[in-house]
Amino acid sequence: MRITNTLTGEKEDFQPIHAGEVKMYVCGPTVYGLTHIGNFRPVVFFNVVRNYLERKGYKVTYVSNFTDVDDKIINKAREQKVSASEISEKYTIEFIQDVESLGLRRPDSAPKVTEFIPQIIEFIAGLVKNGSAYVADNGEVFFSVRHFKDYGKLSKKKIDDLQVGARVDPNELKRDPLDFSLWKPQKAADEPAWESPWGMGRPGWHIECSAMAMQYCGETFDIHGGGMDLIHPHHENEIAQSEGLTGKPFVRYWMHNNLLTMESEKMSKSLGNIFLTRDFVKKYSAETLKFMLLSGHYRSPIDFSEKHIKDVDAALHRIYSARLKCETFPSEGLAPGGEGSTEENKLAAFSQDFPKLWQEAMDDDFNTAKASGYVFEYVRAVNAYLDRKKFKSNEKALELCQAFVSAMKDYSSVMNVLGENSETFLRDLRLRYLEANAITEEMVLEKIAQRREARQSRDFSRADAIRDELLEKGVEVRDAGDTSTWDIVITPKS
């Protein structure tokens, strides 16, 4: 298995520190509001990483934190005239509900900053003692960036070339504009604060993850994940303070997912271009969101659009429809079709190859996009076989159908998609698109009955007109002898 390591910029063979064990830390949310779908790209992806590592036989320790003390939380509390803890507790619960609404497993540990204040204070004290940090006149503690000679190795930035960023404001208390805060003094009575050697205050943003990650995963651990927007300064600062304390490499493999954008702009609360996770799930579905977030390689951006959603829904419709065909394939009563057809031979061969193919894709830097491509190839083979109806024997056809159903279940156990009940998912998808096109199932059935009457009376022009009318409403009618079936047509907007 190979992983692209942000630290080296190379795709490397994965070798965990301890054979058979993987310790993984992923930066979690700052809980001051409801999550948007961009927040969930790392949540969905690293859940899959955990699942796949477990599938390969590793014992995985998966840790993801809650930042429950922060300026944003304090400001939200002031706006709503409640305590900061009320805000953080409320939105921690809301985040967990969003995770569960997507059918995702929670981390093995989900520590909160406020539960780790003693460890954070001890960590900072160690940095002050060894000269990596200093105490300003007001009791604020800063990390001395130039004291850590390797600063910038993750983001490939040189200290002398760095500009003071948005999160590192010029501050006359600092010895250097690049230095960052480890401990912030309490400025107002309504701010959460704890006693420390430097007075009442609270941790800075970066120190919390170092302290919690090392508590659960050790001074050096296997994988640290998060969005690529965290590479600098957050993860760069984590490395500096962690290695500044221990003198040991902090993390072996750094993995960063790219962003979810809207019209090529990062989705964020500050830009006001967000789509809340729960609103998305209500309007579309959890399956649509998860499949969309896994539709591209994790290191590539995904641009959110209505067309993309329709593409995803069309893909899910094809997969679930093929699975339903296989699930409802009759176990008896079909006449054998002689020798196995070309389609049967191709399907039988692909059924054997599929597990190996998608797992090879995952072994190559967790390439979920390539893995899903093999699912589509499998679906095409299933449809080509079942639509031709040339079966060597009923038993063979049933065997191939059952193999597909089993393969999708196996795939779902890793990817957290394609695990819904086929009939239920397709019914809900159908109703959603009918509603969007201002038509009901009853209206469709009535039109099909009218069309049947027209065909029986040989009024084919009227029958064609009804068919075209339904097609304009996103409904396709398929004739088989004297009977007709229908389904939705999901056509992406141009």
Domain assignment of residue 472, given as a range = 437-488
What confidence score (pLDDT) does residue 168 get? Answer: 47
| Distance of alpha carbon 18 from alpha carbon 110, whole angstroms | 23
What confidence score (pLDDT) does residue 335 get? Answer: 55
Same domain, 380 and 483: no
Give how many domains the chain has, as a whole number. Answer: 3
Same domain, 124 and 80: yes
Average pLDDT over residues 396-423: 97
* pLDDT beyond 90 at 184: yes
Percent of the chain with pLDDT over 90: 85
Same domain, 406 and 473: no
**Least trusted range by pLDDT, from 102-116, 160-174, 269-283, 429-443:** 160-174
265 vs 436, residue with greater confidence: 436
Q: Is residue 191 part of a domain?
A: no
pTM for this prediction: 0.93
DSSP assignment of 437-452: TT--HHHHHHHHHHHH
Same domain, 324 and 242: no
Same domain, 67 and 211: yes
Same domain, 410 and 462: no
Same domain, 360 and 460: no
Q: Name the average pLDDT for the chain.
A: 94
Q: Is residue 188 part of a domain?
A: no
Q: Is residue 80 part of a domain?
A: yes
Same domain, 396 and 477: no
CATH number at residue 29: 3.40.50.620
Q: Is residue 266 part of a domain?
A: no
pLDDT band with cut points at 50, 70 and 90 for residue 34: very high
Q: How would you class 348 by CB atoms within 10 Å of its CB: exposed for 0-12, middle for 13-18, buried for 19 or more?
A: middle
Asked which of 241, 257, 273 is the last residue of a domain, the reply is: 257
CB atoms within 10 A of CB 144: 20
Peptide bond into 233 cis (omega under 30): yes
Q: Which of 345, 349, 378 is nearest to 361 (CA)?
A: 378
Q: Is residue 174 part of a domain?
A: no
pLDDT band with cut points at 50, 70 and 90 for residue 332: low
What confidence score (pLDDT) does residue 162 get? Answer: 82
Q: Is residue 273 part of a domain?
A: no
pLDDT digits (tens, 9 = 90+) for 449-474: 999 999 999 999 999 999 999 999 99
What confidence score (pLDDT) does residue 169 get? Answer: 56
Same domain, 113 and 45: yes
Q: Which of 355, 280, 284, 261 is nearest to 35 (CA)?
A: 280
| Distance of alpha carbon 296 from alpha carbon 261, whole angstroms | 13
Residue type at 131 in one-letter notation: G
Q: Is residue 332 part of a domain?
A: yes
* pLDDT beyond 70 at 492: no
Same domain, 382 and 410: yes
Q: Is residue 198 part of a domain?
A: no
What confidence score (pLDDT) does residue 339 get? Answer: 59
pLDDT band with cut points at 50, 70 and 90 for residue 494: very low
* pLDDT beyond 90 at 333: no
CATH number at residue 341: 1.10.730
Same domain, 455 and 416: no
Same domain, 416 and 455: no
